Amino acid sequence: MLIHGLQKLTLLDDPGHTACTVFLGQCDWRCPFCHNAELLVPDAPALMDEAELLAFLKKRQGLLESVVFSGGEPLLHRDLPALMEKVRALGYRLKLDTNGAHPERLREILQAGLADYVAMDIKNSPARYAETCGAAAVDLDRIRQSVSLLMHEAPDYEFRTTVVAELHDAASFASIGAWIRGARRYFLQPFTDRETVPFAGLHAPSRAALEAYLDILRPFVPSAALRGI
């Protein structure tokens, strides 16, 4: 497997654990607010191969606790479970970031015990999901399957939404709250503009708007909170 990016140390991607984040290329969607748009195309340049990653992790044993697989969309890679097994054999905790579009592969990883923590993006309410993903259509049943898998089978998990003023409103979060009612954790993280974001003209919501969205969500998900603000 080719590795398209590596953050050698992060205290944020797996809270409470010293971690590195492994970025894999390719994604199903083209979200207009994506921070990693350079990774989305099939011919994205690779940083290293699997053997080089494992060599790096061997050197960091005792210094790092966790390895986060992110993207792009990691579950597009059929050989991801095999790599995760090799990383687990080195003694690392494993976290997976996913968009939820591949429930059968998510189930495989959960049933194999290869994810201690899963973070899944909830892009928007069902009515605005495709628009927010930059897609002509999204199979929402597959997203719902992944939500259910995490809520019933994952050892630990969170849902999260990157909130964009032009894409989200109060109705969005009323719908999302009803959808993920009873979730263990749900975070709202405001959009931050960067050079790698593929579309210009997007903005973060105000702090007041984010707080209002939390008020809408908490009857459904009492633990709902802001992150990155």
Contact 219, 173 (CB under 8 A): no
Contact 69, 96 (CB under 8 A): yes
CB neighbourhood size of 224 (10 A):
24
Q: How far is CA 176 from CA 17, 23, 197, 217, in A?
A: 29, 27, 24, 8
CA distance 13 to 119: 10
Domains and CATH numbers, the chain: 2-226 (3.20.20.70)
pLDDT at site 112: 97
pLDDT at site 201: 86
CA distance 214 to 222: 9
Alpha-carbon torsion (20, 26, 31, 37), positive or negative: positive
State the DSSP H helix or E strand holding residue 29, giving kind and residue range, or none if neither.
none
pLDDT at site 135: 93
pLDDT one digit per residue (tens) for the chain, 229 residues: 999 999 999 999 999 999 999 999 999 999 999 888 787 776 778 999 999 999 999 999 999 999 999 998 999 999 999 999 999 999 999 999 999 999 999 999 999 999 999 999 999 999 999 999 999 999 999 999 999 999 999 999 999 999 999 999 999 999 999 999 999 999 999 998 877 677 778 999 999 999 999 999 999 999 999 998 8
94, β-bridge pairs: 67
pLDDT at site 39: 78
Contact 47, 4 (CB under 8 A): yes
CA distance 193 to 42: 24
pLDDT at site 53: 98
Contact 173, 217 (CB under 8 A): yes
pLDDT at site 45: 85
